[in-house]
DNA sequence: AACTGATCATGT
DNA sequence: ACATGATCAGTT
């Protein structure tokens, strides 16, 4: 059944194959078509609707929409990520993964980390269009179900460990976006005035801006290219 | 054009 | 404040 032929709430997919099948059926469609079928208004631009595309795809694929600390498809253990790409299929933005615990509650190892959990299994859905194209005119691309392994997994582990060491060591001065080849840290907040606490090198609690882990554009580009050539 | 820091909306 | 969904926009 075509999800778009059935207006109303879509039940979550019961299997990985069903999810992937749904995603493939959306490929090639403009977002305006998805939005119309789902009765979702299309914003003129994304300035005040930055999460619109991701939320639209959640609805179109049958994810339990919401801000819950769970994968998008809990029964399948799969995380959904839309990724904006140009006509050349190369990502135009980095990808947010999760926030970084700067308050001493960071996981003790890579395997226990939230980054590892989040990236264990990701359904990538490229969204084709350039920055100037209206959201409704952007088109769903070919999906990719991805589990990091081999060199990709090693690179993520290496980067996470390096960043984790800076956090544990209280090296606030070195905690910026230049650290990490695939995974790096960037501000993640509604405002630069937002704060969280951090234990610095002198053992003092200080306030600093919240940070999040992001995948660099180059990393996402490589994993998509490996799958689609 | 890429990179880094800043920001927007919504729900828990 | 932090989780979800990300993109914006200034600088290099």
Kindly report, residue by residue over A185-207, the tens digit of the pLDDT: 999 999 999 999 999 999 999 99
The answer to whether domain A68-228 has CATH 3.30.70.1230 is no
Residues A104-128, mean pLDDT to the nearest whole number: 95
Stretch A105-120: mean pLDDT, rounded? 95
pLDDT-based confidence at A1, cuts 50/70/90?
very low
Q: Of chain A residues 43-102, which have a beta carbon within 7 Å of strand C?
A: 45-47, 50-51, 53-55, 57-58, 67-69, 72, 79-84, 93-96, 98-99, 101
In whole angstroms, give the CA distance from residue A65 to residue A144: 21
Check whether A139 has a pLDDT greater than 80. Answer: yes
The residues of A between 190 and 229 with beta carbon within 7 Å of nucleic strand B are: 190-193, 209, 216-218
């Amino acid at each position: 059944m075509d999800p778009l032929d059935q207006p109303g709430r879509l039940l979550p997919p019961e299997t990985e194959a069903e999810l992937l099948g749904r995603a493939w059926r959306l490929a090639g469609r403009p977002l305006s078509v998805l939005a119309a079928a789902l009765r979702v208004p299309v914003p003129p631009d994304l300035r005040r609707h930055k999460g619109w595309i991701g939320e639209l795809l959640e609805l179109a694929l049958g994810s339990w929409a919401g801000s819950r600390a769970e994968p998008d498809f809990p029964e399948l253990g799969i995380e959904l990520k839309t990724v904006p790409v140009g006509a050349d299929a190369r990502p135009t933005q980095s990808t947010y993964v999760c926030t970084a615990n700067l308050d001493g509650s960071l996981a003790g190892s890579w395997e226990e980390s939230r980054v590892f959990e989040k990236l264990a299994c990701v359904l990538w859905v490229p969204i084709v269009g350039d920055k100037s194209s209206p959201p409704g005119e952007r088109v769903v691309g070919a999906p990719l179900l991805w589990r990091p392994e081999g060199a990709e997994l090693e690179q993520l582990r290496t980067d996470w460990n390096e960043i984790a060491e800076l956090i544990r060591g209280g090296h606030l001065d070195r905690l910026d976006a230049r650290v990490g080849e695939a995974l790096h840290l960037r501000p993640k907040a509604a405002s630069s005035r937002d704060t969280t606490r951090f234990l610095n090198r002198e053992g003092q609690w200080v306030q600093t801006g919240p940070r999040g882990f992001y995948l660099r554009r180059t990393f996402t580009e490589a994993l998509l290219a490996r799958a689609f050539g």
